[in-house]
């Protein structure tokens, strides 16, 4: 897929992604707004926007929010859910080739997609589309409970994505001298359907017609059974927020 590093395997999982992936906490969004000063005259580009879970938070505030996403099925869900708002516009593009005009964006946001980005190409693209005083905000979340996180990691290690993520650090994208970091925790209550659905939405998880599908689903079910109480898995979501200017050229 020449346009993006994100694997096309998400095309069969967009609905799972939209239904079962976690949202971003309001205090983190409020901090982005407070630090960057984004307002009614501002333009936001959410890059690797997926089904729009992060982009939607900026629609009540900004003049325009672009959802830049390479996978058609992801963009379609975002369009169906967000396009009725005239401030939103879905864009076929990637971190390395957004297709947006030069110096047109006040804030770039990135959610869980950062690990797919190639900083050697994405950072120059960020600098190109950002206005002179533009910002980049990166949000990512994880599970605090170590035993649960380890069990999930082991499951996904056995089902790697068809395209390996780049996993470049945040510092490869944001200038260390301007970068500010914040952390938030919030409780999550997962039932079996949501927990297994979230695991099936990952890039390496087999789709239903794959002969490995039932094994993956059963293993995810076993993880839930191992840690759940009274049919609920109580987890702590840790969201990390990084805000800064892009690394200089």
Q: How far apart are CA 69 and CA 52, in angstroms?
A: 9
- Residue 203 Cα distances to 11, 87, 200, 229, angstroms: 9, 30, 8, 28
Instruction: In whole angstroms, give the CA distance from residue 172 to residue 110.
Output: 14
Residue 198 belongs to some domain of the structure: no
Check: CB of residue 45 under 8 Å from CB of residue 107: yes
DSSP letter for each residue of 104-167: -EEEEEE-TTGGG--HHHHHHHHHHHEEEEEEEEEEEEEE--HHHHHHHHHHHHTS--SS----
**Which helix or strand (DSSP H or E) is residue 240 part of?**
strand 233-244
Question: Of 218, 36, 194, whose CA–CA distance to 130 is shortest?
Answer: 36
- Has residue 227 been placed in a domain? no
Domain assignment of residue 171, yes or no: yes
Which residues, 6+ apart, have CB-to-CB distance to 216 below 8 Å?
Answer: 155, 159, 199, 200, 205, 206
83, 32 in Cβ contact below 8 A?
A: no
| pLDDT higher than threshold 90 for residue 5 | no
Least confident of 5-19, 28-42, 79-93, 191-205: 5-19
Q: Answer yes or no: are the C-beta atoms of 63 and 29 closer than 8 Å.
A: no
Q: Is the pTM of this model over 0.85?
A: yes
Assign 12 a pLDDT band (cuts: 50, 70, 90).
confident
Q: Comparing 8-17, 54-63, 144-153, 170-179, which segment has the lowest mean pLDDT?
A: 8-17
Supply the CATH number for residue 26's domain.
Answer: 3.40.50.150
Collapsing DSSP to helix, strand or coil, 60 comes out as: coil
Mean pLDDT (whole number) for 196-207 = 94
| Distance between first and last Cα of the chain | 26
Vertex 198: Cα angle to 196 and 199 (nearest 5): 65
pLDDT for 81: 95
> Would you say residue 232 lies in a domain?
no
Structure-model confidence comparison of residues 170 and 11, the more confident one? 170
The DSSP 8-state label assigned to residue 68 in this structure reads: E
Range of the domain at 112: 8-144+162-185+239-244
Domain assignment present for residue 207? The answer is no
216 and 222 Cβ atoms separated by less than 8 Å:
no
Residue 119 tokens read as: 């900083």
Give me the number of domains the chain comprises: 1
What residue spans of the chain are helical by DSSP H?
A: 14-20, 26-36, 72-82, 119-129, 146-157, 192-200, 213-227
Comparing 93-102, 127-136, 177-186, 204-213, the range with the smallest average pLDDT is: 204-213
> Is 113 contained in some domain?
yes
């Amino acid at each position: 897929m020449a346009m993006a590093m994100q694997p096309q395997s998400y095309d069969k999982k967009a609905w799972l992604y939209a239904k079962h992936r976690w949202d971003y906490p309001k205090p983190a969004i409020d901090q982005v707004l407070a630090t960057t000063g984004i307002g009614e005259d501002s333009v936001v580009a959410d890059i690797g926007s997926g089904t729009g879970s992060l982009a939607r938070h900026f629609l009540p505030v900004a003049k325009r929010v672009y959802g830049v996403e390479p996978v058609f099925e992801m963009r379609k869900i975002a369009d169906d859910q967000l396009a009725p708002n005239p401030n939103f516009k879905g864009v076929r593009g990637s971190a390395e080739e957004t297709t947006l005009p030069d110096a047109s964006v006040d804030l770039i946001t990135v959610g869980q997609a950062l690990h797919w980005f190639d900083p050697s190409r994405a950072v120059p693209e960020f600098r190109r589309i950002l206005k002179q005083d533009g910002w980049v905000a990166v949000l990512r979340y994880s599970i605090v409970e170590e035993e649960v996180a380890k069990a999930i990691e082991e499951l996904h290690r056995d089902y790697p994505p068809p395209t390996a993520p780049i996993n470049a650090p945040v510092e490869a994208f944001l200038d260390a001298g301007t970068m500010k970091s914040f952390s938030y925790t919030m409780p999550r209550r997962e039932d079996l359907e949501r927990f297994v659905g979230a695991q099936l939405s990952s890039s390496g998880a087999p789709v239903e017609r794959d002969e490995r599908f039932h094994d993956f689903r059963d293993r995810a079910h076993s993880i839930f059974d191992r840690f759940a109480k009274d049919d609920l898995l109580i987890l702590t979501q840790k969201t990390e927020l990084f805000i800064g200017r892009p690394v200089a050229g």
